[in-house]
Amino acid sequence: MSKQFPKGFLWGASTSAYQVEGAWNEDGKGPSVQDMKDIPVGTTDFKTAVDHYHRVEEDVLLYKELGLKAYRFSISWSRVMSKGEKNPKGLEFYRKLINLLKENEIEPIVTVFHFDLPYDIHEKGGWENRDTIQVFADYCQILFEEFGQDVKYWQTINEQNVMALAGSAIGTSNKSMKEKFQENHHMLVAQALVTKNYHNGHYPGKIGPAPNIASVYAASDKPEDQLAALYMSALRNWLFLDVAVYGKYNHNAWHLLEKIGASPTITVEDQELLKEGTCDYIAINYYNTMTVSAYYKKENKIDQQSGFGIPGFFQSVENNNLLMTEFDWPVDPEGFRFTLNEVYSRYRLPILVTENGIGAKDILTAERSVHDDYRIDYLKQHIEQMRSAIEDGVEMIGYCPWSAIDLISTHEGIEKRYGFIYVNRSEEDLKDLSRYKKDSFYWYQKVIKNNQL
């Protein structure tokens, strides 16, 4: 049987605005929460990032050479909207990027919000303030009007579940569960409103959410561990996708929120809106699975991928069957097949993978090469499993690994590199910011060209 991927499969790669652009206060851009947060000691801030804002032509040419069929990026809300006003220079930058992509036959895939809430909105209460729902919808309306004819795939909110469950780790929110799930509810309503508006505008594309989805394994065959896995998955995964697809809260997640006193206030209008603004496809970010047992201890390590526990419900535990990356994230390619199948069998909507990849301390050799065979191994294994998922019957739109080019990690600096393209800078020293193609660049180029491994 041919191992080719379906015709038109979108082989892509991803980035997000604040992690690559830099130019944090140029051309009318206001600060976002990412510009104002406390940066962990020893890691860089996001002020220059990898200077994509000034090198966008060069970067898109490299994407072209890589052979990308699609490029998933995010739009910086505080670049496009400055103190509530439309910023023409900000829009100009994204117009240029989208035009460059299209000239090079690369499908633009746009996320409208990726962790970088404008700081002025944050100061007015951020997502906890109901008014943010309409402010977000107005911002999205501008994007749809400007780019709606050129962008065929939109994502509303990147990893809303990570913001709700591990906001302190990624620097987006540090509040109580009650406050976070009220914020989260407002985001869900905002997503529904924007989705409804998009549909009403009859634009020629599709819109969907982009949560971080990971199947949850039970630590043992003990019934209480199985139930723990069911609850963790409801809170971590299905809460977000049930609302996006079915327009209503998952019953297990809701029960859990009520039990811990964190259920949000929901109006009748909200309930109606959630039903009216459901998504066209599902974008997911996948890094690894989670394993949980019944809750047995009080201390929890909070990590955005795997550390989490709720008394009475579940406790994340290490899975000794899985290898770990040098940044201590489990590696589980078969879990990727499992997760894709789980999502598809629940929702029966096509899936676009918007992130998947390995963070590593790459080394630039004297010859200006990067021998990142570990990245090739990681991606190869995940692509094999994705291929198996397609054979299982899962409908896939495309695959956009994290990341197209090196970028600044959410909280572990530039040292934790993900890209196919190396950027010459360190935490403290911007050096020359030159771009170098890694071994994985040439490998992925072949995969794309052959439409198979």
Given the rule CB under 6 A, which residues bind ligand BG6? 16, 19, 158-159, 162, 212, 285, 304, 355, 359, 402, 409-412, 416
Structure tokens at 305: 């991928």
Report the nearest approach of ligand BG6 to the CB of residue 173 (Å): 14
427 given a catalytic annotation: no
In the block, which residue shows the tokens 């790459």? 362
Q: 327-334 — which CB contacts under 8 Å span 24+ positions? A: 327/359, 327/360, 327/412, 327/416, 329/287, 329/288, 329/305, 329/359, 330/288, 330/289, 330/305, 330/306, 331/288, 331/358, 331/378, 331/381, 332/288, 332/289, 333/378, 333/381, 333/382, 333/384, 333/385, 334/385
Q: Is 232 helix (H, G, I), strand (E, B) or coil?
A: helix
Contact 147, 107 (CB under 8 A): no
Q: Of 113 and 338, which has the nearer Cβ to ligand BG6?
A: 113
Catalytically annotated residue among 355, 367, 391, 395? 355
What are the percentages of helix, strand and coil residues in the chain, rounded to 5? Answer: 40, 15, 40
Q: Residue 307 or residue 359: which is nearer to ligand BG6 going by CB? A: 359
For residue 34, the minimal CB distance to ligand BG6 (Å) is 10
Helix or strand run (H / E) with residue 189: helix 177-200
Give whichever of 59 and 159 is closer to ligand BG6, judged by the CB atom. 159
Check 21, 107, 146, 159 and give the catalytic one.
159
Residue 14's H or E segment, with its range, is strand 10-14
Nearer to ligand BG6, 225 or 406 (CB): 406
Tell me the closest approach of the beta carbon of residue 299 to ligand BG6, in angstroms.
22
66, two tokens: 């890589």
Nearer to ligand BG6, 52 or 416 (CB): 416
The CB-of-110 to ligand BG6 minimum distance in angstroms stands at: 14
Least distance from C-beta 9 to ligand BG6, angstroms?
22
Nearest Cα neighbor of 284 from 197, 332, 344, 359 is 344
φ and ψ of 65, to 5 deg: -65, -35
DSSP H/E element including 317: none
The SS3 of residue 293 is strand
Over the range 204-234, which residues count as b (16 or more CB within 10 Å of their CB) and which as e?
ebbbbbbbbbbbbbbbeeeeebbbbbbbbbb
| Residue 51 beta carbon to ligand BG6: minimum distance, rounded to whole angstroms | 17
User: First vs last Cα of the chain: how many Å apart?
Assistant: 14
Look up residue 183 and give its amino acid: E
> Least Å distance between CB 162 and ligand BG6?
5
State which residue has the least CB distance to ligand BG6: 409
Give the nearer residue to ligand BG6 in terms of CB position, either 53 or 203: 53
Q: Give SS3 for 202.
A: coil
The residue (of 191 and 410) whose beta carbon lies closer to ligand BG6 is 410
Whether 355 is catalytic is yes
What distance in Å separates the CA atoms of residue 55 and residue 20, rounded to the nearest whole number? 10
Catalytic residue numbers, as ranges = 159, 355
